[in-house]
Structure 1
C-alpha cells in the first residue's frame, strides 16, 4: 500500500531538502542562491509543499497567491517538479490537484503557471492530463 502525504515546508532547514529537485528544474541555481531567493520570497507569501510517498520526497511545488487584473485572485505555480526517475506515475497530477483545492480554500479563482518553451513533456502534462489552456506568450528582457 502506498502512503502519500503532502506537507508544507516552513523553515529554511526543511526547505533545503528539496534543493536536489529544484536543481533539476533550475540547474543554474546553487544552494546558497536558492536559500537567498527563498528568503526573499517569504514576505510575499511563497510556499513550498512536498509530496512524500512512504516518507520519501517524490515531488514538490512552489506556489504563491497573487492578484492582478486578468487572473484576479489566483495561485501562481512557480515550480512543480517530480523526481525524474518516477515521472508519469501520477504524482504531478495529485500534487497539482492539491494546489487547485488549496487555491479554492484560499479564495482563488484560477491557477496559473509558466513553462519554458523547451519543456514539451510538461506542456503535454498540463494540457492533456490537467486540462489547462495554452493562451498567451510570456516575454522578458534582461536588464543587466
Structure 2
C-alpha cells in the first residue's frame, strides 16, 4: 500500500488511497449506481465473496491498484489502475484505467477530473508511455469527460463475454 495523496475539491480535502475490504459496500454501491452497472453488479448486501476475491487479487499484485477518493470516512469515487508491459512502442508500459465511478452527489464538482488527472500523472511518473481506458459506447457524457482530459477515440474496442 502506497502513501495517500490529497486532492482539494471545492474546498474539500479528499484523500486518494488504496481500497480496503471495509470499503466494499461503498464500492458496490458506486458500481451499481448507473444504468449499466445496475444490470451487471450486485447491491451492497449481495454475496460479497466474488468481490472480496477480486479485491484480494488486486491488492496482492503490484501491477494493479484499486483506488478510492475518500473524505470524512465516505468513499466518493473509485477507479482501478493497472500497469501493463508490452513489446509495442519500443517496449513501453501502459496504464489501463477501469471501473471509474463517482458518487452521484459529487458529479460535476471536479472530483472526477482531479482524480483522473492524479491517476494520469501517477502513471506517467511510474514510467508509462500512455494511459488507455474503455468506456461503453452508450456513455456519451463519459466520452465528453474523457475527451476533455485529452483522451482520443483512437481504437475500436471489442469484448467477448462468457
Scaled by the length of structure 1, what TM-score is found? Answer: 0.82
Structure 2 counterpart of 1:138 = 157
1:38 matched to 2:55? The reply is yes
Structure 2 counterpart of 1:96 = 116
Equivalent of residue 41 in structure 2, options 1, 11, 29: 29
CA distance in 1, matches of 2:82, 2:20: 16
Structure 2 counterpart of 1:117 = 137
CA contact (8 A) 1:2 1:54 kept: no
CA contact (8 A) 1:16 1:35 kept: no
SS of 2:29's equivalent? helix
CA contact (8 A) 1:46 1:62 kept: yes
Give unpaired runs (5+ residues) of structure 2: 1-9
Scaled by the length of structure 2, what TM-score is found? Answer: 0.74
Structure 1 counterpart of 2:16 = 7
- Please, which moves more after superposition, 94-103 or 36-45? 36-45
Q: CA RMSD in A?
A: 2.3
Aligned length: 142
Q: Which runs of 4+ in 1 moved over 4 A?
A: none
